[in-house]
Structure 1
Amino acid sequence: MTQQTPLQTLIGLAQDDVDAAAQRLGRVQRERGEVEAQLQSLLQYRDEYHARFTNSAQNGMPAGNMRNFQAFIDTLDAAIEQQRRLLAAATARVEAAKPEWQRSKQKLGSYEVLQARSDATEAKRTARREQRDSDEHAARALRMRTHGL
């Protein structure tokens, strides 16, 4: 089993951080989507209820029904306003999670660049060593031929 270098350990830890940040970002984005869908449902319901009421009111309506309608619309408006506040908070959580994910991704990228440089340096070193060994082998073979061995 090959031993991990400190840089490889850092890359592994950074990848874990990226994964965790991506999961958090995904979770808050899903939550925001759910809150937004609930808001859209409330808005649609309010519009439909208002349209039904308007159609009914054109034929005449008792004052009690009018008060009930207005009270219900007020309740819906309050729910819509609360849902808008929840959406604003959810949006803020998404916006806070994005830079965290970007920072962790950038950190991982930096470590990966360092690893690539290290790998390239090691590859050059290995290539030079192999070339030197090959040159020495060729020189030995030439010496053996010239000395008649």
Structure 2
Amino acid sequence: MNRVKRMQPVLRIAELEADKAGRLLSQAQQLVQQEEQKLQQLAEYQDDYRRRLLDAGRQGMTVDRLRLYDGFQGQLDRAIAHQKTVIATREQEAEQFRLQWQQLDIRFKSLEKMLQRLQQEADRQQARVEQRNHDEYARRGAGAKKAWN
């Protein structure tokens, strides 16, 4: 039983570490989703901007205005490329958090199983001691009855 009590704080710390790693993973996944939403918004804006360019082109436009559209289109392309880089970085970070969480979760579950086995062994040992005491008590009780007869 003593070993079980000594291991309980170790198990609790392992559980806290795994929980913390799980929260960090969740936050990292949320960041990936937020960055993907930003990319989605940029792509939608770019599509809308292209439609406006086509509409304006049908009505006729000056070369200067076409250059402005083209320049802004280039800025949107660069922003989208940058956002894709940000997403890739966030995904790598999330993967690192996932690996860390997996390792800590495996460690926690291993410690938990070990503690269960220790508890079972302690219970079996306690049962053997109780059985031995019961047998000794019964043996002494039988011997006392013979002495009274």
Question: Normalising TM by the smaller chain, what interval?
Answer: 0.7 to 0.9
> Which is helix-richer, 1 or 2?
2
**In terms of mean alpha carbon deviation, does 52-61 or 138-147 score higher?**
138-147
Q: Return the alpha-carbon distance in structure 2 between the equivalents of residues 95 and 122 of structure 1.
A: 40
Aligned identity (percent) is 27
Partner of 1:125: 125
1:52 aligned partner:
52
Which residue number corresponds to residue 105 of structure 1?
Answer: 105
Aligned to 1:84: 84
Letter in 1 for 2:79: A
Corresponding residue of 1:13: 13
Match of 1:73 in 2: 73
Q: Could you tell me how far 1:25 is from its partner in structure 2? A: 1.1
SS at match of 2:59: coil
Q: Runs of 5+ in structure 2 lacking a partner?
A: none
Aligned length: 148
- Residue type of the partner of 2:36? E
What secondary structure sits across from 2:36 in the alignment? helix
Cα shift readout 1:64-90 (whole Å, capped 9, x = no counterpart): 221111111111111111111111110
Q: CA deviation at 1:91?
A: 0.7
